[in-house]
């Protein structure tokens, strides 16, 4: 039965497990020792960036023809998951590199890909700029504008909540090019941090993922060469939605990694901590909590991998749309991460509420996975619409 290809779909390939072993070793040696300090000092995890760049794990999704590894979507999720297991902030390096370039990969022309993607594979970072202060889930309400000027475009406006903003070199920026057409008048552009008129005006103070800067960007008459538009004018919103089919599972992977890290810490702590002369892992209520945590982490992991694999193939089983699977995997995994990390803090007791142990950081980091790349409420709307259609 193990040779049946239908069954093989439900387990990672051998190369995926080899990849997991390699990235886990790197994460534990090069990233985990700095995770607490990154959070405490609210500083960018430069050690993680250096380690990921040196090993080629910073952007494994970049196709081989653009100097990348050409790893599949499940492999990208494994990298993000294993980094998130030790440091949520650091996992946003590979995750957002994919988010910031996925629209280009899906809809950009070859010349623009050759201009941007080798730089990302070589160690530069990319970010995704869609949200604005008054246009978050309601992306079609955005105010950032791009007007044609000869062969170029002139960009004006601002973007908010941009992950790794100020650290990235390239930004996929959505802007309105035809206000009369609503969502169909939005276009996507690749903006370089060196473009005149581009800047960072604010960096947020956050509950979690404190090592990953979340910034506000501004554009003051930024001239974008005409060859830096992604696809045709007006296709940007469609590209944004297609991007989410590929990147929502990566947030699910981040959530799974954070949850796994908290579960691992809880297992180790409950086996060492003694009360009433016994390890607290000997008590049935502890065992039931750990069992439920482990069960839900495994379910979330399978759902994330399934969504990633189907996005890679461009198909969905049973007539489902890819958007449903992407939204469902992100929503389920992030809800699991919040539950598991909260329970981990509970199992640590008073110690879990202190910064002496990583589970309180993991609980804070887990919360964001329920919010960004579409709040879980918006993701449920996406799922409901597809179910009802």
Residues with a known catalytic role: 373
Distances 246 to 69, 310, 330, 356 between C-alpha atoms, Å: 17, 9, 11, 36
DSSP-assigned beta bridge partners for residue 174: 188
Q: Where are the alpha helices (DSSP H) in the chain?
A: 5-8, 14-26, 32-41, 46-55, 73-84, 88-107, 110-121, 236-272, 284-313, 322-348, 359-368, 376-388
Distance CA 219, CA 200 (A): 9
Q: Are strands 186-192 and 229-230 parallel, antiparallel or unpaired?
A: antiparallel
Distance CA 170, CA 126 (A): 5
Task: Answer for the pair 48, 73: CB distance below 8 angstroms, yes or no.
Answer: no
Print burial letters for 110-128: b (CB count within 10 Å at least 16), e (below 16): eebbebbbebbbebbbbbb
Task: Answer for the pair 166, 200: CB distance below 8 angstroms, yes or no.
Answer: yes
Decide: residue 82, CB within 10 A, 0-12 exposed, 13-18 middle, 19+ buried: buried
Q: What are the tokens at 70?
A: 């050409």
Print burial letters for 367-388: b (CB count within 10 Å at least 16), e (below 16): bbbbbbbbebebbeebbeebee
143: helix, strand or coil = coil
Distance CA 163, CA 128 (A): 7
Task: Answer for the pair 155, 225: CB distance below 8 angstroms, yes or no.
Answer: no
63: helix, strand or coil = coil
Task: Answer for the pair 240, 106: CB distance below 8 angstroms, yes or no.
Answer: no
Q: What are the tokens at 110?
A: 């070859």
């Amino acid at each position: 039965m193990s040779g049946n290809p239908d069954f093989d779909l439900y387990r990672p390939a051998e190369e995926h497990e080899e990849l997991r072993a390699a990235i886990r070793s790197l994460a534990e040696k090069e990233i985990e020792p700095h995770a607490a300090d990154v959070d405490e000092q609210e500083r960018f995890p430069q050690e993680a960036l250096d380690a990921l760049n040196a090993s080629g794990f910073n952007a494994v999704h970049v196709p081989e023809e653009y100097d990348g590894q050409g790893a599949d979507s499940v492999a990208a999720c494994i990298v993000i998951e294993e980094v998130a297991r030790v440091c949520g902030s650091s996992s946003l390096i590979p995750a957002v590199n994919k988010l910031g370039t996925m629209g280009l990969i899906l809809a950009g022309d070859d010349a623009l890909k050759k201009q941007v993607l080798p730089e990302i594979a070589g160690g530069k970072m990319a970010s995704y700029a869609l949200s604005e202060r008054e246009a978050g889930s309601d992306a079609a309400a955005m105010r950032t504008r791009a007007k044609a000027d000869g062969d170029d475009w002139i960009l004006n406006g601002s973007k908010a909540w941009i992950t790794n903003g100020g650290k990235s070199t390239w930004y996929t920026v959505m802007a309105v090019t035809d206000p009369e057409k609503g969502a169909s008048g939005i276009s996507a552009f690749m903006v370089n941090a060196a473009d005149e008129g581009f800047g960072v005006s604010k960096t947020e103070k956050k509950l979690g993922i404190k090592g990953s800067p979340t910034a506000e960007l501004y554009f003051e008459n930024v001239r974008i060469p005409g060859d830096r538009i992604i696809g045709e004018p007006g296709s940007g919103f469609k590209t944004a939605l297609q991007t989410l089919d590929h990147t929502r599972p990566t947030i699910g992977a981040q959530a799974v990694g954070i949850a796994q890290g908290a579960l691992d810490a809880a297992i180790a702590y409950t086996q060492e901590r003694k009360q009433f002369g016994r390890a607290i892992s000997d008590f049935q209520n502890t065992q039931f909590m750990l069992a439920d945590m482990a069960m839900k982490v495994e379910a979330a992991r399978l759902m994330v991998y399934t969504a990633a694999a189907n996005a890679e193939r461009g198909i969905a089983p049973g007539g489902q749309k890819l958007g449903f699977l992407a939204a469902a995997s992100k929503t389920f995994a992030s809800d699991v991460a919040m539950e598991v990390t909260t329970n981990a803090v509970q199992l640590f007791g008073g110690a879990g509420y202190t910064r002496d142990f990583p589970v309180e950081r993991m609980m804070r980091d887990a919360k964001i996975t329920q919010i960004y790349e579409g709040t879980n409420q918006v993701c449920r709307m996406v799922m409901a619409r597809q179910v009802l259609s």
